[in-house]
Structure 1
Amino acid sequence: MDLTRRTALFSAAFTLPLALPARAQPAAAPGNAGGTPLTPDFAALEAQQARLNAQPGPRVVPGRSIPVPETTSPAMRAAIAAPYRAPAWNANPANAEAWRALVARLAAPGAAAQPALRARLGVSMENAVLGGVKAFILTPREVPAANRDRLLVHVHGGGYVYNPGEAGTQEATLMAAFSGFKVVSFDYRMPPDHPYPAAMDDAMAVWKAALQMQRPRNMAIFGTSTGGGMTLAMILRARAEGLPLPAAIAPGTPWSDLTETGDTYRTNEWLDNILVSYKGYLSHAAALYAGGTDLKDPQLSPIYGDFTGFPPAILTSGTRDLFLSNTVRTHRKLRQAGVEAVLQVFEGQSHAQYMFDPDAPETKEAFTEIAAFLDRHLGK
């Protein structure tokens, strides 16, 4: 299977099922392969930019064509070069029925890809119900002795609307395969039928059930995008409810702020080929999930909460990720609260591309790093 087709297959199984040709992409001028300005007259451009940026204020930059970095693997370059795909990134269904139809249509190929992925990676899956919530238990073919009394709880991504059911298990499968941990992934309720706090209620029900399965010092919570944001919110809520906390967390490129706040919402807009722009589906999904709750409520946007006493954390993002600032701000806030926190940022990657292609070396590297961090902090 060629790289482009394989990348499309696995990206369809993740947080934002994707699919439409590129739009609003400037055509490169001759000789622009290296990312040079779209005008061939650099002297004129230099004078123009100096004039436009002569005073303090917003930075004005020229239109540019950004090349696919040669510093990434061939598999990752295929993902980075892929066009925008809709209706995932810019969806705005007119009503609840249209949302349900879109979510179901986008989830179908992702769910269909999972059995083959598990077979390739030697991971088995068992259906379960934890705390009244539908869940999946993913177990690697070989569980090292050190991991036999350890358990990871996975929170899937998808902007609070995408990836119901088995479509949301790809990250859990990758973690089980590359880490040797048993993983529980759960199918939390989502809008349009179930806005906040349904997803968080389900998450806490699963966490309480997990506490009956394993000691908290032997467990971690992880997830990407929405899953990363919910991981942080789960710690805030568990602490508020007096529940034991996990030994570590791994919030990948967390949607830690549902408002359009942070530098890379601007600098990476139209560069990130997954999320593309906050003004696409993200803004609509945030409003749909919140259901009238203030978007700055720490249970929706945990960056506004108190991170004191959080477990050690490892965060992951990419240089083109629209949520890079969300990730960086979360990392800095954890450090300011005295929490051990590690930040890994991958070259050239848009949102969550470290988990699209299981054959990309960057995928194995990302999950191996996370697994090593968790291994250092979980009890045995």
Structure 2
Amino acid sequence: MKSMHVETPVPQVDEEEASGARALRVGAFISAQMPIGLYELNVRRTHHPTKPDRELVDRSLVTRSRHRGIPVTWIDRARANTGLVIHLHGGAYVNGESQNHWDWLSDLRRRTGAAAAMLHYRMAPEMPYPAAYDDAVEGVLGILEDLDAVSPRWVLSGDSAGGGLALAVVQALRDRGETLPSALLLTSPWADLTGEDPRRTAQIEKDPAVRPDLLARCAAMYADGFPLDDPRLSPLDGDLHGLPPVHLTVGDQDLLLGDSQRLRDALGLADVEVTYLEQPGGWHCYPLVWRGPAAQRARRAQIAFVRDALGFDAPVNEGRRAAAH
């Protein structure tokens, strides 16, 4: 079994972090109870690729291109020759990226010094499985092809559904004999769409941001009749051997805590190096939606992991030796 490094969380969650719990709980309830037609109309409004706000990123650094036909929004693409983070956003496979995603990704890009790419995969209900899976695999391969002359080190990242998708993508790349990322950065990954994890029951009343009935609705919309335990849909059920080092962040109030704990343990058994951070009081995807000490501690840990994976903090002599090879 590979070694596992456990990051030290912030001991206490600031009260300010919990102030939006009631509003989140009400919003999640409304989404879960909304008639299916109205819900589908609501999520379709989020399916157009967005860009980070001007307050987050200078517009001169933001560009958009297509790679094997998949749209990608870049932040500081010129730096891709030094290192790259490709991110797959969450949203239960039915919602597009939000400004919380852009805030997190632009912060990660700025503080690591790498280029960042948001890959805009197709979503349900218009485009159910395998659209997101195919787009993510092809989009990643297309980016790497278009940067072939540069051959940068790169990290594949994902949050929530995007975290599960990132795990499925790296499994596909391994099986195809393609270039693997230097590391995998996962935040609250939704890696099991079956909803059968017994640990989920204990989390239902703890996480105001996510409901099991809403996840079940989204899983059915995305899977569109395919078995939910298919490893391409639930990569936690797939082969985890031969994957790059993984950084895994989750809150102990997260409805999907069990996914992360099971994934942590399964990766260790598969001889994959794991860095694990479990934040007391943390909700689903807390590093993206919170702004206080706990979120900043998680972001610092993620940034340090990415910098190490990209070789930014390697001693000069080691960097020169690597370049010589």
- Measured after TM superposition, the shift of residue 111 of structure 1 is 5.8
Q: Which residue of 2 aligns with 1:191?
A: 124
TM-score normalised to the size of structure 1?
0.71
Aligned residue identity for 2:115: K
Listed as ranges, the matches of 1:88-127 within 5 Å are 89-90=31-32, 92-95=34-37, 98-105=38-45, 114-119=52-57, 124-127=61-64
- Measured after TM superposition, the shift of residue 169 of structure 1 is 3.6
Aligned residue identity for 1:367: R
Q: Which residue of 2 aligns with 1:361?
A: 293
Distance in 1 (CA, whole Å) between partners of 2:50 and 2:72 is 14
- Measured after TM superposition, the shift of residue 368 of structure 1 is 1.7
- Measured after TM superposition, the shift of residue 138 of structure 1 is 1.6
* SS of corresponding position for 2:90: coil
- Measured after TM superposition, the shift of residue 206 of structure 1 is 1.3
Matched, 1:273 2:212: no
- Given the superposition, is the C-alpha separation of residues 130 and 161 from structure 1 closer, same or farther in structure 2, using an over 3 Å criterion? same
Distance in 1 (CA, whole Å) between partners of 2:281 and 2:175 is 38
- Measured after TM superposition, the shift of residue 207 of structure 1 is 1.1
Matched, 1:237 2:172: yes
Matched, 1:351 2:291: no
- Given the superposition, is the C-alpha separation of residues 80 and 209 from structure 1 closer, same or farther in structure 2, using an over 3 Å criterion? same
Distance in 2 (CA, whole Å) between partners of 1:347 and 1:262 is 20
Distance in 1 (CA, whole Å) between partners of 2:164 and 2:208 is 21
Q: Which residue of 2 aligns with 1:371?
A: 303
Decide which structure has the larger Cα Rg and report it: 1
Q: Which moved more, 1:173-182 or 1:239-248?
A: 173-182
Do the aligned partners of 2:11 and 2:280 also contact (CA within 8 Å) in 1?
Answer: no
Do the aligned partners of 1:216 and 1:244 also contact (CA within 8 Å) in 2?
Answer: no
Runs of 5+ in structure 1 lacking a partner? Answer: 1-68
Matched, 1:129 2:66: yes
Distance in 1 (CA, whole Å) between partners of 2:190 and 2:32 is 17
User: When the two structures are aligned, how many residues end up with a matched partner?
Assistant: 300
Describe the superposition over 1:83-135 as per-residue Cα deviations: whole angstroms up to 9, x where unpaired.
5132565155433xx34421145679x969x415514x999422222221111
TM-score normalised to the size of structure 2?
0.82
Q: Which residue of 2 aligns with 1:73?
A: 14
Aligned residue identity for 1:139: D
* SS of corresponding position for 1:152: strand
Listed as ranges, the matches of 1:145-294 within 5 Å are 149-163=82-96, 169-212=102-145, 213=147, 218-275=153-210, 277-279=211-213, 281-294=214-227
Q: Which residue of 2 aligns with 1:85?
A: 26
Of structures 1 and 2, the one with the larger relative CO (CA 8 A, separation 6+) is 2
Q: Percent identity?
A: 27
Distance in 2 (CA, whole Å) between partners of 1:318 and 1:182 is 27
Do the aligned partners of 1:312 and 1:339 also contact (CA within 8 Å) in 2?
Answer: yes
Runs of 5+ in structure 2 lacking a partner? Answer: 1-9, 313-325
Partner of residue 139 from structure 1, selected from 76, 82, 104 = 76
Q: Which residue of 1 aligns with 2:270?
A: 337
Distance in 1 (CA, whole Å) between partners of 2:100 and 2:278 is 26
Aligned residue identity for 2:67: L
Do the aligned partners of 1:264 and 1:321 also contact (CA within 8 Å) in 2?
Answer: no
